[in-house]
Amino acid sequence: MVTNPPELKEFEQRAYKATHSDGVIDVFVGVSMVVVGVAWLMIPSVLSGVTAGVALAISPMLAWRRRFIEARTGYVMFTESRRLWERRIYTTAAVLFGGFMLLARPLGSLQPESIDWMMDPDSLVVWLVAAVLLLLSVLTNLTRLIVYSLVLAAAGAVPFMIATEAFGWPLVISGAVIVAVGSALMRRFVIGHPPIGTL
């Protein structure tokens, strides 16, 4: 064999990392958080519809992302073990997201005057998301998810530092940070990977 298994594994790891440093999912997650946060701040009654819309947008986003990446890196077929590992990651993420949605929607229906919380519901939501991202960072080895988790954890303290009865600021603030990071990743990916037909 020209390439031994350790070298093949290292090459596949580099290719896998390259195809997951595009920033598209980061931007989508960040924008989704900002949209949900603004809805929670401005029109809480539409929050359930907004979160449902975000969930419905995931599949089209992933399909567009696949075309976006393949136009610049070509089609990459990973080994079966890598694809199995990736399916487990996506399944875990889907289960965690579903659990988050089940908890976030009833929290979003609550009004500030109707409850007496030791912590605000929006803080609880972003801390739950932070825990999800921390778990996914362990599974995916993507260190930027740890950064996002820390940003979310810090944003969850915002309601305790500002005098506001409106929910949603932690999602808006942390979402904006994630959008900024994701946009920088997308820009670097586009510059480093021009469309194949232009090479």
* CA 68 to centroid of chain Cα atoms: 18
Q: Which domain holds residue 171?
A: 26-62+79-191
- Give the C-alpha distances (Å, rounded to integers) separating 113 from 9, 81, 116, 120: 56, 52, 8, 12
- Residue 34 in any domain: the answer is yes
**pTM, to two decimals:** 0.76
* Structure tokens, 80: 């079966």
Overall average pLDDT of the 54-79 stretch? 83
The DSSP line for 108-143 is HT--GGG---SS-HHHHHHHHHHHHHHHHHHHH--T
How far apart are the C-alpha atoms of 63 and 96, rounded to whole Å?
A: 21
Closest to 66 measured CA to CA, from 13, 30, 16, 24: 24
- Residue 101 in any domain: the answer is yes
Q: What is the pLDDT of residues 150-182, one digit of tens each?
A: 999 888 887 665 655 667 888 899 999 999 999
* Structure tokens, 153: 């954890």
pLDDT: is 153 or 199 the higher one? 153
- Give the C-alpha distances (Å, rounded to integers) separating 119 from 48, 61, 126: 21, 33, 12
Count: domains in the chain: 1
- Residue 196 in any domain: the answer is no
- Residue 98 in any domain: the answer is yes
- Residue 163 in any domain: the answer is yes
Give the percent of the chain with pLDDT over 70: 65
- Opening angle at CA 73, ends 70 and 75, nearest 5: 50
pLDDT: is 140 or 107 the higher one? 140
- Residue 67 in any domain: the answer is no
Q: What is the pLDDT of residues 119-155, one digit of tens each?
A: 567 777 788 888 888 887 877 777 888 999 999 988 8
Q: Is the pLDDT of residue 117 over 60?
A: no
Q: pLDDT value at position 60?
A: 92
User: Which letter does DSSP use for residue 167 in this model?
Assistant: S
Q: pLDDT value at position 116?
A: 47
Could you give the dihedral angle defined by the CA atoms of residues 56, 62, 65 and 71, in that order, rounded to the nearest 10 degrees? -130
pLDDT: is 58 or 94 the higher one? 58
**Phi, psi values for residue 52, rounded to 5°:** -65, -40
